[in-house]
Structure 1
Amino acid sequence: MTEKVRVKVEDRMLVLTNLDKVLYPGTGFTKAEVIDYYTRISPVLLPHLRGRPLTVKRYPNGADAAFFFEKNAPDHTPDWVRTVTLPAPGSTKNREEIEFAVVEDLPTLVYYANLAALEIHVPMWRVAKDGEPQPPDTLVFDLDPGAPATIVDCCRVAVLLRRALADDGLESHPKTSGNKGMQLYVPWDRGPGTSDYAKALARRMQEEHPFVTSVMARKERPGKVFIDWSQNNPAKTTVAPYSLRANPLPTVSTPLRWEEVEACENPEQLVFTSSDVLKRVAEHGDLFVPLGA
């Protein structure tokens, strides 16, 4: 029998299930601990989710088992969860439209955590109050190291990108992916041209630095850092700041200080678990504040 617990989250009643279920077998981290993490991190996480159509990766049997992406809000989604219906060009299920959830409050976040939605992914644009898609407000570079390169090499490329962006009057904010790489986020108010700009800069980095590639082909990537500029396609999403990742440890996509990026000499320096991130936020606040407005 499925264990059920009724709880009040702010002004909503939720039914939570299987709270003792281990979702990270390597550490014994349970669904209750996943929900606790997302509840405690919500003050800094929610500003980065508001207005952004949600895609989640759900792991009903734990981080080491099968998962599925979910864009469409589940049929049993409570009526108080905000949803927006948007075109779905190229949908793998041949749907013309998808009804996306938008995480705007703690009850919605807890609802999804209870679905074992370990990973939260969102696009670089938001919808208006009426559900109309807005131009991108963020540009992202996804830095992926090809072995034997590591996140240490990604840090080196991030510093180069930071300088190039600053020359163009743009500030940048680094975070770990929570896996082996990292991302660089750039607040953007220059209209819909994020993809073209990111592609041009990635190609320039490739021309200037032999340890960089802007080409997705696997054969081009060993020993190099791949600058994935394509995440700026409006149809794509990137893991949200402060989202858990499905790894042996409950690692988190963690905002960084530039001093940490510049000083990184070992990949282990930039591995942060849920408890680490809660301590970091208590000490530093939200390092991504300019991106959560």
Structure 2
Amino acid sequence: MSPITEVEGRRLSLTHLDKVLYPATGTTKGEVLHYCASTAGALLAHLHDRPVSFLRYPDGPGGQHFFTKNVPPGTPSWVHTAEVPRSRTRDARQVLLQDLASLMWAANLVVEFHTPQWQAGAPARADRLVLDLDPGEPATAVECCTVALWLRERLSADGLTAYAKTSGSKGLHLLAPLEPTPSDEVSAYAKRLAVEAEAALPELALHRMKRALRPGKVFVDHSQNAAAKTTAAPYTVRARAEPTVSTPVTWDEIEACTAPADLVFMIDDIGPRLQRYGDLLGPLINPNRARPLPR
């Protein structure tokens, strides 16, 4: 029998808590669920009102992965969902994680959380800009930091404040809060920034995904601003060899980064960081911080 847990008045069956999901560290499913519960305040703040996509990896990062936007079969009736435009001809429903019980139900499926740059009430109207800095070997997070610092200054020149988090993989995500703007306009602006970064840092930055160009460069991926695209949510655990987390970081940490390991954070690191810094990405969900998209 699976243990039945009551969370905020909802009865949940949390399964296989002793299962080792991350053999490299011995991290169990129960430990991952505990992480989600203990950081729920920050996690839920960034998931709120955003249709969630799941990258499921029920047998750990070495097992099968599958990405789903649709509401999973067996989703409890009390989990909120939203109708989301999927194409010109049809809509679909996606999960909204609005409370602790829903978060724990989803975490029990063993998932990464991915969200678009817009909220369910205003599809395809982005309230943030995202730039995904993705290093091509032998480039690492260290090179990403150099590009990030250039982009921070460039965004500042346009009146936008950039905030940073690790991807939880090899790179960095830069985000800036915006007044709601059509996603295609944000995408066009983000692409211009990526092109400018390549022109300013030709030995380091790249605005095209072409594989042959990638070695030693940092791809400034602007595509995740498209309405149909999603980005790993802040504080989500990743399906990597170890239980790394997409972690907000300070600009001081980015400036001081001299080795990739400087910006790798595991589930056990996040609680102390939240105590020390609070939610470094809090400004993203403060409407008073939003700024118009530069024209």
TM-score by length of 1: 0.94
Counterpart in 1 of 2:278? 285
Counterpart in 2 of 1:68? 66
**Residue 79 to residue 190, structure 1, CA distance change in 2 (3 Å):** closer
Q: Is the 8 A contact 2:123 2:227 kept in 1?
A: no
1:44 to 37, 42, 45: 42
After superposition, residues 109-148 of structure 1 pair within 5 angstroms as 109-117=103-111, 119-128=112-121, 132-133=122-123, 135-148=125-138
Q: Aligned residue pairs: how many?
A: 283
Q: Which structure 1 residue ranges, 4+ long, deviate > 4 Å from structure 2?
A: none
Q: Is the 8 A contact 1:25 1:64 kept in 2?
A: no
Whole-angstrom CA distance in 1 between matches of 2:180 and 2:68: 31
Matched, 1:248 2:241: yes
Counterpart in 2 of 1:56? 54
Whole-angstrom CA distance in 1 between matches of 2:38 and 2:48: 17
Counterpart in 2 of 1:157? 147
Whole-angstrom CA distance in 1 between matches of 2:120 and 2:175: 19
Give the aligned residue type for 2:54: V
> Alpha-carbon deviation of 1:153?
0.3
Give the aligned residue type for 1:137: D
Q: Is the 8 A contact 1:25 1:63 kept in 2?
A: no
> Alpha-carbon deviation of 1:278?
1.4
User: In the TM superposition, what whole-angstrom CA distance separates every residue of 1:238-293 from its partner, at most 9, and x where no partner exists?
Assistant: 00000001112110000000000011001111010000111111111100001134
> Alpha-carbon deviation of 1:185?
0.4
Q: Name the SS for the 2:125 alignment partner.
A: coil
Matched, 1:25 2:23: yes
Structure 2 residue ranges without an equivalent (≥5): 287-295
Give the aligned residue type for 1:270: L
Whole-angstrom CA distance in 2 between matches of 1:204 and 1:264: 24
TM-score by length of 2: 0.93
Matched, 1:178 2:171: no
Identity over aligned pairs, percent:
47
Whole-angstrom CA distance in 1 between matches of 2:192 and 2:80: 36
Q: Name the SS for the 1:112 alignment partner.
A: helix
User: In the TM superposition, what whole-angstrom CA distance separates every residue of 1:127-158 from its partner, at most 9, and x where no partner exists?
Assistant: 12xxx526100100000011111000000000
